[in-house]
């Protein structure tokens, strides 16, 4: 079986990716530090779905799943350089998907050092582990936030990303540059994925869908920024993980037509590439809220507020390059995706 490491395996996307790859021809290792950025009980509950009792796990110890013979989990910190070096030297992974990171735009304003620690130091350790162990393909999470002040829609991978407006986005931009240097210097195949507002069952409690659903159920006002004039390219989590699954065995060999005289920023002569993963169908935030109201059969109380620091009024992804490369287009409708989330939310919080 192909051996793959998924960092951030107890996180939202990492959990869903682990679940889908367990049911495919992979020997899956999940790694997560299980920090308390958000409810640790939710992370533990995700792991229980994978047959792991996280409450009994010691730091830096690998445990086998009680439910799946091809899944193992290790509680560890990607920023621990000595441990990651020894771990990756011992395991010799074929593929690595790095989803471990300190997430959140607004939290990066409050606690910037958490972002350089995990997103820079941690990612460097993953790059070094891949470099020294002949990993066939490193896929890593970037973000649509790297587009920053860019207002040319739809956002294409070759557009400017020189003006990020949060440290979170800046660290992800740095990840893309770090990956390119390793692809160029060491011929390490890398693929960066710019995710656009991911949502779905088992999602993060700090994301809008989770916050809105909770408040509407409790009859509390929801906070809607920029006075409701927000447009987002909401992307359902199953579309994200299906895209990653299709990309794993398709590392680029480099673009033979690439030239330094007209350098395309999303490609290279080195084995390096960048893709957007979005629904390419932007939705007005108020329409998104309406879909939640329909799914809950309850109206929202709305508190309109000005724009928050680090936020942008609109995102809209172009996924033409992704579609050509893997013959797949994320296309889940928000009505279905929100219904799936609400059904899960009610199940999770009433059981």
The confidence score (pLDDT) of residue 350 equals: 79
Tell me, yes or no, whether 211 lies in a domain.
no
The confidence score (pLDDT) of residue 5 equals: 98
Q: Which of 263, 249, 269, 256 is nearest to 325 (CA)?
A: 249
249-291 per-position pLDDT tens digit: 999 999 999 999 999 999 999 999 999 999 999 999 999 999 9
Question: What is the β-pairing status of strands 235-236 and 198-199?
Answer: parallel
The confidence score (pLDDT) of residue 105 equals: 82
Domain of residue 194 covers 2-202+233-280+316-332
Helix (H) / strand (E) element for 248: namely helix 237-248
Q: For 32, which DSSP code?
A: E
Q: For 75, which DSSP code?
A: E
Length of the chain: 351
Total count of domains within the chain = 1
Tell me, yes or no, whether 214 lies in a domain.
no
Query: What are all long-range contacts of 213-220, with beta carbons under 8 Å and residues at least 24 apart?
Result: 213/292, 213/296, 213/341, 213/342, 213/345, 214/345, 215/300, 215/301, 216/292, 216/293, 216/296, 216/298, 216/299, 216/300, 216/301, 217/296, 217/298, 219/301, 220/301
Task: Give the burial string for 149-187 (b: 16+ CB within 10 Å, else e).
Answer: ebeebbbbbebebeebbbbbbbbbbbbbebbbebbbeee
Low-confidence ranges of the chain (pLDDT < 50): none
Tell me, yes or no, whether 345 lies in a domain.
no
Angle at 317 between CA 302 and CA 116, to 5 degrees: 80
Contact 272, 179 (CB under 8 A): yes
Tell me, yes or no, whether 286 lies in a domain.
no
The confidence score (pLDDT) of residue 308 equals: 86
CATH number at residue 177: 3.40.50.720
The confidence score (pLDDT) of residue 55 equals: 84
Q: Which of 235, 234, 342 is nearest to 295 (CA)?
A: 342
Tell me, yes or no, whether 300 lies in a domain.
no
pTM of the model: 0.96
Tell me, yes or no, whether 215 lies in a domain.
no
The confidence score (pLDDT) of residue 351 equals: 65
**Sheet with 190-195, side-by-side order of all strands:** 62-64, 71-75, 26-32, 2-7, 95-98, 137-143, 190-195, 272-277
Q: CA–CA separation, 201 vs 338, rounded Å? A: 9
How many beta carbons lie within 10 A of that of residue 118, not counting itself? 22
The confidence score (pLDDT) of residue 104 equals: 83
Full DSSP string of 272-339: EEEEEES-S--EEHHHHHHHHHHHHTSPPEEEE-PPPTT--SB--B--HHHHHHHS------HHHHHH
Tell me, yes or no, whether 48 lies in a domain.
yes
Cα of first residue to Cα of last residue in the chain, in angstroms, is 36
* Active site (catalytic) residues: 168
Q: CA–CA separation, 25 vs 10, rounded Å? A: 20
Tell me, yes or no, whether 97 lies in a domain.
yes
């Amino acid at each position: 079986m192909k051996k793959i490491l998924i960092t951030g395996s107890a996180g939202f996307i990492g959990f869903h990716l682990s679940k889908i790859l367990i049911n495919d021809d992979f020997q899956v290792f999940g790694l997560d530090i299980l920090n308390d950025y958000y409810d640790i009980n939710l992370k533990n509950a995700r792991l229980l779905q994978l047959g792991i009792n996280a409450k009994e796990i010691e730091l830096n110890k690998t445990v086998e799943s009680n439910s799946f013979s091809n899944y193992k989990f290790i509680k560890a910190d990607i920023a621990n350089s000595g441990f990651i070096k020894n771990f990756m030297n011992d395991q010799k992974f074929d593929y690595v998907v790095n989803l471990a990171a300190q997430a959140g735009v607004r939290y990066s304003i409050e606690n910037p050092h958490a972002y350089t620690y995990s997103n820079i130091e941690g990612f460097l350790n993953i790059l070094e582990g891949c470099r020294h162990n002949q990993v066939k393909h490193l896929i890593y999470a970037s973000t649509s936030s790297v587009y920053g002040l860019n207002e040319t829609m739809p956002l294409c991978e070759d557009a400017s990303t020189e003006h990020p407006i949060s440290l979170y986005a800046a660290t992800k931009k740095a990840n893309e540059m770090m990956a390119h240097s390793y692809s160029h210097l060491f011929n390490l195949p890398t693929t960066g994925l710019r995710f656009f507002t991911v949502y779905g069952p088992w999602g993060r409690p700090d994301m809008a869908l989770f916050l809105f659903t909770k408040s509407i159920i409790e009859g509390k006002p929801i906070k809607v920024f920029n006075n409701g004039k927000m447009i987002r390219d909401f992307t359902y989590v199953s579309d994200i993980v299906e895209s990653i699954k299709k990309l794993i065995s398709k590392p680029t060999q480099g673009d033979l037509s690439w030239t330094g005289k007209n350098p395309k920023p999303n490609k290279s002569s080195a084995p390096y590439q960048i893709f957007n993963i979005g629904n390419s169908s932007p939705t007005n935030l108020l329409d998104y809220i309406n879909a939640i109201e329909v799914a809950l059969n309850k109206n929202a109380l709305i508190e309109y507020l000005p724009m928050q620091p680090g936020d942008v009024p609109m995102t809209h992804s172009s996924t033409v390059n992704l579609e050509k490369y893997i013959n797949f287009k994320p296309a889940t409708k928000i009505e279905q995706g929100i219904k799936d989330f609400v059904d899960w939310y009610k199940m999770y919080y009433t059981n």
